[in-house]
């Protein structure tokens, strides 16, 4: 075992989670950032595109006009985001919704571009879910994301690592949900699950695990610094609140409700809300707990900067090992090994 551990850490693929990125959002809400990768995929052809210089927005491509290679070169080299008018947001979202499968299958798009489009879309879905968690249309978009995320992760061994890198940015709760979905799909696959429909359900369970936070006071969710006792009481209600929301949706795999309810339980029985020993829960709930802990350590929060993947895995190995199944954790670490060196590990 010691041998395994010493072999597994040095060749971990580094991700850039420690790099501080600026907030690309428009504080006035007139423009919304969309990943620049959407241009190459053809998704942005029908939109007026703007670029931001300090605080001002400039039209760089009117809708219907062709994208020149010079413009593409300039934008792609300069910024991960271009802007569309907020009034076009729904139309853009619907267009990604319709084209997600083609994007993931498009051989002329790179893995990173696909990850950027998937993540950007998924963050939009979480944002909508948190403002209206009972909306069946948004839940279908969540399923669309997780099904395509399964395809994307299965397409290439490096694909998962692009999602790891991108899921560590942006607003904590939104990026966190996307990250937990991706890590759950990858780890469930590593644990032997191969059926795409089962993996998509696993991903959806990860994506929706914190939906109960939509019912907790945002002042508590976004608080900078530690919560006081009363705030913790409120926060600890989110697993049960989430299960309640999800029970109202028809035709959901019951594991999705169980995951929302049980993702803060652990192997030592010191978790919440019930304090049960997680061995008694479905293994997928344990997969989601592990994905949740890793994402919490690697995603930027209002009060702390994210750790990189290696630091997060080391911390989990040293401090949280009694809370997770050792074999599950070992397999999770394997996902981060350089695919070329994996054979030897
Ligand atoms: Fe949670
Ligand atoms: Fe979480």
pLDDT of residue 7 exceeding 50, the answer is no
200 C-alpha vs ligand 1 centroid, how far in Å?
A: 20
pLDDT score at 27: 84
pLDDT of residue 19 exceeding 60, the answer is no
DSSP states along 249-276? STT--HHHHHHHHHTT-BTTS--SSS--
293 C-alpha vs ligand 2 centroid, how far in Å?
A: 7
CA of 293, nearest ligand number: 2
74 C-alpha vs ligand 2 centroid, how far in Å?
A: 37
pLDDT score at 168: 67
Closest CA to 177 of 150, 213, 152: 213
pLDDT score at 192: 95
Condensed to tens digits (0 to 9), the pLDDT of residues 145-156 reads 999 999 999 999
Token pair belonging to 230:
């009363």
264 C-alpha vs ligand 2 centroid, how far in Å?
A: 8
159 C-alpha vs ligand 2 centroid, how far in Å?
A: 22
In the predicted model, what is the mean pLDDT of residues 40-51? 89
Cβ(168)–Cβ(115) below 8 Å? no
Structure confidence at residue 343 as a pLDDT band (50, 70, 90): low
260 C-alpha vs ligand 2 centroid, how far in Å?
A: 9
Residues by chain with Cβ below 5 Å of ion ligand 2: 210, 292
Residue 324 CA to its chain's centroid (Å): 21
pLDDT of residue 10 exceeding 60, the answer is no
Whole-angstrom distance, CA of residue 334 vs CA of residue 305: 25
pLDDT score at 74: 84
Whole-angstrom distance, CA of residue 329 vs CA of residue 286: 10
- b/e map of 154-179 (b: 16 or more CB within 10 Å)? beeeebbbbbbbbbbbbbbbbbbbbb
pLDDT of residue 240 exceeding 80, the answer is yes
202 C-alpha vs ligand 2 centroid, how far in Å?
A: 15
Structure confidence at residue 208 as a pLDDT band (50, 70, 90): very high
* Bond into 273 cis (ω within 30): yes
Cβ(50)–Cβ(56) below 8 Å? no
DSSP states along 25-57? S-TTSSEEEEETHHHHTTTTTTS-EEEEETTEE
291 C-alpha vs ligand 2 centroid, how far in Å?
A: 8
- Distances in whole angstroms, Cα of residue 175 to Cα of each of 1, 143, 276: 33, 17, 28
pLDDT score at 6: 29
DSSP states along 171-204? SHHHHHHHHHHHHHHHHHHHTT---HHHHHHHHH
11 C-alpha vs ligand 1 centroid, how far in Å?
A: 31
pLDDT score at 250: 87
Whole-angstrom distance, CA of residue 6 vs CA of residue 156: 26
Which carries the bigger pLDDT value, residue 329 or residue 225? 329
In the predicted model, what is the mean pLDDT of residues 9-27? 49
Q: Which of the four CATH numbers 1.10.3210.10, 1.10.3720.10, 4.10.490.10, 2.60.40.4070 does domain 2-16+109-344 have? A: 1.10.3210.10
Q: What percent of the chain has pLDDT over 70?
A: 89
Sign of CA dihedral 187, 193, 194, 199: negative
Of 7-21, 281-295, 309-323, minimum mean pLDDT range:
7-21
pLDDT of residue 34 exceeding 60, the answer is yes
110 C-alpha vs ligand 2 centroid, how far in Å?
A: 29
28 C-alpha vs ligand 1 centroid, how far in Å?
A: 30
pLDDT score at 149: 97
Residues by chain with Cβ below 5 Å of ion ligand 1: 210
Neighbours of 151 (CB within 10 A): 18
**Any bridge partners for residue 58, and if so which?**
51
Neighbours of 13 (CB within 10 A): 17
pLDDT score at 90: 93
Cβ(308)–Cβ(13) below 8 Å? no
287 C-alpha vs ligand 1 centroid, how far in Å?
A: 13
47 C-alpha vs ligand 1 centroid, how far in Å?
A: 37
Give, rounded to a whole angstrom, the gap between the first and last alpha carbons of the chain. Answer: 12
Q: Determine the longest span between alpha carbons in the chain, in angstroms.
A: 60
Condensed to tens digits (0 to 9), the pLDDT of residues 248-276 reads 998 899 999 999 999 999 999 999 999 99
Structure confidence at residue 12 as a pLDDT band (50, 70, 90): very low
Could you tell me how many residues make up the chain? 345
79 C-alpha vs ligand 1 centroid, how far in Å?
A: 32
For the chain, what are the domain ranges? 2-16+109-344, 22-88
pLDDT of residue 72 exceeding 50, the answer is yes
185 C-alpha vs ligand 1 centroid, how far in Å?
A: 17
| Max avg pLDDT among 88-102, 167-181, 305-319 | 88-102
Of 99-113, 128-142, 160-174, 207-221, minimum mean pLDDT range:
160-174
177 C-alpha vs ligand 2 centroid, how far in Å?
A: 7
pLDDT of residue 221 exceeding 90, the answer is no
pLDDT of residue 18 exceeding 70, the answer is no
229 C-alpha vs ligand 1 centroid, how far in Å?
A: 17
SS3 of residue 58 by DSSP? strand
């Amino acid at each position: 075992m010691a041998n395994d551990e010493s072999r597994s850490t040095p060749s971990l693929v580094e991700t850039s989670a420690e790099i501080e990125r600026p907030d690309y959002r428009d504080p006035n809400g007139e423009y919304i950032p969309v990943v620049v990768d959407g241009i190459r995929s053809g998704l942005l052809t029908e939109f007026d595109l703007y670029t931001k210089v300090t605080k001002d927005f400039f039209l760089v491509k009117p809708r219907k006009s062709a994208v020149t290679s010079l413009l593409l070169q300039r934008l792609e080299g300069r910024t991960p985001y271009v802007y569309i008018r907020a009034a076009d947001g729904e139309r853009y979202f619907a267009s990604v919704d319709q084209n997600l499968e083609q994007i993931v299958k498009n051989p002329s798009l790179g893995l990173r571009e696909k990850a950027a489009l998937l993540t950007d879309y998924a963050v939009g879905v979480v944002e909508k879910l948190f403002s209206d968690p009972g909306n069946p249309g948004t839940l279908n978009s969540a399923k669309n994301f997780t099904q395509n995320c399964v395809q994307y992760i299965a397409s290439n061994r490096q694909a998962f690592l692009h999602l790891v890198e991108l899921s560590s940015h942006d607003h904590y709760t939104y990026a966190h949900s996307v990250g937990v979905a991706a890590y759950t799909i990858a780890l469930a696959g590593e644990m032997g699950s191969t059926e795409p429909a089962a993996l998509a359900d696993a991903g959806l369970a990860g994506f929706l695990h914190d939906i109960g936070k939509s019912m907790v006071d945002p002042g508590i969710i976004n608080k900078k610094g530690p919560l006081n006792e009363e705030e913790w009481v409120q926060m600890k209600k989110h697993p049960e609140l989430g299960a309640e929301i999800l029970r109202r949706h028809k035709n959901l795999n019951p594991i999705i409700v169980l995951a929302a309810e049980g993702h803060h339980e652990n192997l030592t029985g010191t978790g919440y809300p019930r304090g049960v020993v997680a061995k008694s829960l479905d293994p997928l709930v344990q997969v989601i707990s592990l994905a949740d802990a890793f994402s919490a350590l690697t995603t930027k929060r209002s009060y702390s900067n994210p750790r990189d993947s290696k630091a997060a895995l080391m911390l989990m190995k040293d401090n949280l090992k009694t809370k997770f199944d050792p074999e599950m954790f070992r397999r999770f670490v394997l996902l981060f090994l350089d695919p070329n060196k994996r054979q030897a590990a």
